[in-house]
């Protein structure tokens, strides 16, 4: 049976004043898998992901989520459909407690009762490993714990698709290994799109990899297929400055 795709793009393109950032991208995201999006610096990854989550409007093409065209929906509407997104730079509420940060995210689902919100907060903090820090001020957390808090805030929204943009940036090696374990456990509950520069993390976590280069989709496949792809080697994997 062919895999079900939770998200697809068709001819997705973005230009800024005549400068092409992405061009004619046909992309499929299989449901229930971890897909990694990789590519050299300047390959157009951030622009592409911005179009997926609604922060950037496409110049041409379509974004389909669960078979429905969401190309013109703003970011908050896409969140309501089940798309959560974490940024390269942490976007927590530094002056609030860990618990309150997650609670605010959990309230995004308007139908939840106060009791349901509290239960969701407890569940997510337990899963992420921050339960013992729930009363701590978020801004006082280590950088690694702030990244985990941001992931907790995304999970509190019960996303069908969870997009994580450079989540291991700035993490210590021990924190990265904990992140790998976390991603494998989360993939049982949600589809994950991982934009990541750390190839060890990509190869350990991803079921499927897509490679962008010069704003276009260069290749897709399993980690083994991508690792052995000569075009990918030349464009990305073989260059130490982009590793």
What pLDDT, in 10s, does the model give residues 56-110?
999 999 999 999 999 999 998 998 899 998 865 567 999 999 999 999 999 887 7
The span from the CA of 110 to the CA of 98, in Å, is: 21
Report whether pLDDT(169) > 90: no
pTM: 0.88
Domain boundaries along the sequence of the chain: 33-57+74-242
Class of domain 33-57+74-242: alpha beta
- Continuous segment of H or E residues that includes residue 8: strand 5-16
Q: What is the pLDDT of residue 104?
A: 92
The answer to whether 6 touches 187, Cβ cutoff 8 Å, is no
- The larger pLDDT score, comparing residue 171 to residue 94, is at 94
What digits encode the pLDDT tens for the residues 15-41? 998 899 999 999 999 999 999 999 988
Q: What is the average pLDDT score of the chain?
A: 90
What does each C-alpha distance from 134 to 20, 122, 123, 171 come to in angstroms? 44, 9, 12, 21
């Amino acid at each position: 049976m062919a895999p079900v795709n939770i998200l697809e793009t068709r001819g997705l393109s973005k230009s800024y004043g005549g400068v092409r950032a992405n061009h004619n991208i046909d992309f499929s995201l299989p449901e229930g898998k971890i897909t990694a999006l990789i590519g050299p610096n300047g390959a157009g990854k951030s622009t592409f992901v911005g179009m997926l989550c609604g922060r950037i409007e496409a110049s041409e093409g379509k974004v389909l989520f669960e078979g429905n065209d969401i190309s013109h929906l703003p970011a908050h509407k896409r969140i309501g459909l089940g798309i959560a997104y974490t940024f390269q730079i942490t976007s927590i509420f530094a002056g609030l407690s860990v618990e309150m940060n997650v609670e605010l995210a959990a309230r995004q689902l308007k139908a939840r009762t106060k009791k349901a919100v509290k239960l969701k907060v407890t569940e997510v903090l337990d899963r992420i490993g921050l339960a013992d820090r729930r009363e701590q001020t978020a801004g006082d957390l280590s950088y690694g714990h702030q990244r985990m808090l941001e992931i907790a805030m995304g999970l509190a929204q019960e996303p069908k698709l969870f997009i994580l943009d450079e989540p291991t940036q700035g993490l210590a090696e021990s924190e990265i290994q904990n992140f790998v374990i976390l991603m494998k456990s989360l993939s049982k509950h949600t589809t994950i799109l991982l934009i990541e520069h750390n190839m060890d993390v990509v190869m350990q976590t991803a079921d499927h990899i897509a490679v962008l280069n010069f704003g276009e989709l260069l290749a897709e496949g399993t980690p083994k297929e991508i690792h052995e792809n000569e075009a990918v080697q030349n464009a990305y994997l073989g260059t130490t400055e982009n590793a």
